[in-house]
């Protein structure tokens, strides 16, 4: 494989992000004067509803990148490393690949009441982790379904989000019913038809990457969003993963149209020692496929095939070395993961190597293949914005 020995550090990648198609936009018949993206059945062809547009996505791990903060940009990262018990729990969930009810209870216990410093001289006190919306997502490289036999439940086996979206309309279902229409008065928010910039109460998503060498989350600096022209109401059907009454079957979220002026960010290196907090009430976000993931997918499938051959009696001949060059903007972590898979393909034991050699190779292969599967946890948190000074930030 060419280029694997070179060390590249990228500051931005070119990637396809999924936006609503302009042909799917209609005028809303509501009194709010907004536009809406048409709701289609849950199994409707993605490409009919959404279009992929090439965007520059800047890597916040690179030097000289702007800093982001929750209040202005709509998102920032918080440090989870000091919470040792939480870190052990997240490592457990990452290893198993799904979260149990008991682990979800422990996760909530670790976070409830936690205080995290933010930019802008504020800190975030987590008051309540919502019972609904705690979700673990898993996605293979380049969109590969790595566990197609597993059925999506309320918490587990969710695919990564392909379309750029905002998670909740402050005036929409289910907040409207749950808070009897008071949510816009209680929660700080900014929407195309109104804002509340004085409330210290926020509804945020806490998004914890268990590993995201592939399919990372991207978030927009919402100061670059023209909300009145590009933010659309969208009713998301939820019956495939939530058991709700008929009046709350459609979740009112936001969809977005593409525009060249929008600024997008991601982290090429991020594990569960950090997490994103972002505004649930409209911050545009979604996952994307990194340059080079198609190569990772090919090695993943190659290793899967070799594992099958080895367990079925042995590999007779090593596959020829690949001559595929990785794109110049392949991130360093992905480049390393591909290199590791390439060396395992080249070192597969031939003939009758004996059980210890086979077991050793299979263990390394499982680790290398697992590395390129994106795993993340997300939940919704009611939190308070406080000055980052004593006694407000007292733990």
Q: Please answer whether residues 380 and 204 qualify as being in contact, where contact means their C-beta atoms are separated by less than 8 angstroms.
A: yes
Nearest-angstrom CA–CA distance, 331 and 371? 14
Query: Residue 357, SS3?
Result: helix
Which of 24, 51, 76, 167 forms a contact with Fe ion (CB under 5 A)? 167
| Choices 164-172, 219-227, 305-313, 341-349 (CB under 5 A): range interacting with Fe ion | 164-172
Give 167 or 169: the residue with its C-beta nearer to Fe ion. 167
Residue 167: CB minimum distance to Fe ion, A:
4
User: Cβ closer to Fe ion: 192 or 282?
Assistant: 282
Candidate ranges 106-114, 160-168, 260-268, 361-369; the one touching Fe ion (CB under 5 A) = 160-168
Judged by beta carbon, residue 218 or residue 330, the one nearer Fe ion is 218
Contact segment (CB under 5 A) with Fe ion among 92-100, 159-167, 321-329, 364-372 equals 159-167
Task: Please tell me the distance from the alpha carbon of residue 378 to that of residue 272, in angstroms, as a whole number.
Answer: 12
Count of beta carbons in the 10 Å neighbourhood of residue 158: 17
If the CB atoms of residues 74 and 333 are measured against Fe ion, the closer one turns out to be: 74
CB closer to Fe ion out of 19 and 299: 19
In whole angstroms, the minimum distance from the beta carbon of 285 to Fe ion comes to 6
Q: What phi and psi values does residue 376 have, to the nearest 5 degrees?
A: -150, 155
What are the beta bridge partners of residue 34? none
3-state helix, strand, coil in the chain (%, to 5): 25, 30, 45
Region binding Fe ion by CB under 5 A among candidate stretches 35-43, 167-175, 237-245, 323-331 = 167-175
Cβ of 196: how many Cβ atoms within 10 Å? 17
To Fe ion, the closest distance from the beta carbon of 364 in angstroms equals 34
Residue of closest CB approach to Fe ion: 167
d(CA 21, CA 29): 20
Residue 165 CB, shortest distance to Fe ion, in Å, is 6
- CB-nearer residue toward Fe ion: 335 or 380: 380
Residue in the block written with tokens 């289910």: 174
CA atoms within 13 Å, Cβ hemisphere of 325: 5
Tokens of 186: 């209680």
The reply to whether 283 sits near Fe ion by the rule CB under 5 A is no
Task: Please report which residue ranges of the chain form alpha helices under DSSP H.
Answer: 46-49, 84-96, 101-111, 175-178, 183-186, 227-230, 293-311, 332-346, 355-371
CB nearer to Fe ion: give 51 or 167: 167
Q: For residue 178, count other CB atoms closer than 10 A to its CB.
A: 13
CB of residue 205 to Fe ion, shortest distance in Å: 7
**What is the size of the binding site for Fe ion (CB under 5 A)?**
1
CB 187 within 8 Å of CB 128: no
In angstroms, give the least distance from the CB of 262 to Fe ion.
17
Stretch that binds Fe ion, among 46-54, 165-173, 210-218, 276-284 (CB under 5 A): 165-173
CA-based nearest residue to 229, from 262, 199, 198, 253? 262
Burial pattern 116-141, b for ≥16 Cβ within 10 A else e, equals bebeeebbbbbeebeeebbbbbbbbb
| Contact string (CB under 5 A) for Fe ion, positions 40-79, x = contact | ----------------------------------------
Nearer to Fe ion, 234 or 361 (CB): 234
* Least spacing, CB of residue 147 vs Fe ion, in Å: 21
CB atoms within 10 A of CB 163: 20
The nearer residue to Fe ion, 122 or 222, going by C-beta atoms, is 222
- Contacts with Fe ion, 207-236, as mask; x by CB under 5 A: ------------------------------
Based on DSSP, count helices (H) and strands (E) in the chain, helices before strands.
9, 19
Residues between 1 and 20 with contacts to Fe ion, criterion CB under 5 A: none
Residues engaged in binding Fe ion (CB under 5 A): 167
């Amino acid at each position: 494989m060419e280029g694997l020995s070179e060390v590249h550090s990228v500051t931005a990648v070119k990637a396809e992000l999924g936006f609503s198609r302009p042909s799917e936009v209609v005028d809303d018949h509501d009194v709010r004067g907004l536009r809406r993206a048409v709701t289609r059945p849950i199994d409707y062809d993605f490409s009919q509803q959404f279009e992929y547009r090439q965007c520059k996505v800047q890597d916040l791990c690179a030097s000289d990148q702007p800093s982001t903060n929750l209040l202005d940009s709509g998102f920032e990262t918080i440090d989870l490393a000091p919470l040792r018990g939480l870190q052990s729990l997240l490592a457990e969930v990452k290893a198993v690949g799904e979260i149990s009810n008991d682990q979800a209870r422990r996760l909530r216990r670790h976070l409830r009441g936690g205080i995290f410093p933010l930019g802008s001289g504020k800190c975030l006190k987590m008051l309540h982790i919502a019972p609904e919306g705690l979700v673990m997502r898993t996605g293979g490289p380049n969109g590969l379904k790595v566990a197609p036999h597993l059925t999506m439940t309320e918490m587990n086996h969710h695919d990564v989000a392909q379309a750029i979206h905002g998670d909740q309309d402050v005036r929409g279902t289910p907040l409207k019913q749950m808070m009897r229409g008071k949510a816009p008065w209680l929660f700080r928010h900014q929407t195309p038809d109104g804002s509340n910039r004085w409330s210290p109460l926020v509804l945020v998503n806490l998004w914890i990457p268990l590993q995201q060498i592939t399919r990372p989350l991207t978030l927009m600096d919402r100061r670059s969003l023209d909300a009145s022209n590009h933010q659309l109401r969208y009713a998301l059907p939820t019956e495939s993963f939530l058991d709700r009454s008929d009046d709350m079957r459609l979740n009112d979220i936001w969809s977005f149209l593409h525009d060249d002026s929008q600024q997008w960010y991601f982290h090429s290196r991020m594990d569960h020692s950090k997490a994103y907090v972002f505004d649930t009430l409209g911050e545009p976000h979604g996952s994307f496929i990194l340059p080079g993931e198609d190569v990772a997918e090919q090695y993943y499938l190659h290793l899967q095939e070799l594992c099958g051959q080895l367990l079925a009696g042995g590999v007779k001949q090593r596959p020829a070395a690949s001559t595929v060059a990785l794109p110049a903007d392949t991130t360093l972590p992905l480049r390393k993961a591909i290199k590791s898979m390439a060396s395992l393909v080249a070192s597969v034991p031939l003939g009758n190597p004996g059980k210890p050699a086979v077991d050793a190779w299979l263990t390394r292969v499982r680790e290398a293949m697992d590395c390129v599967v994106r795993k993340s946890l997300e939940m919704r948190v009611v939190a308070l914005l406080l000055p980052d000074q004593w006694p407000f930030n007292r733990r």
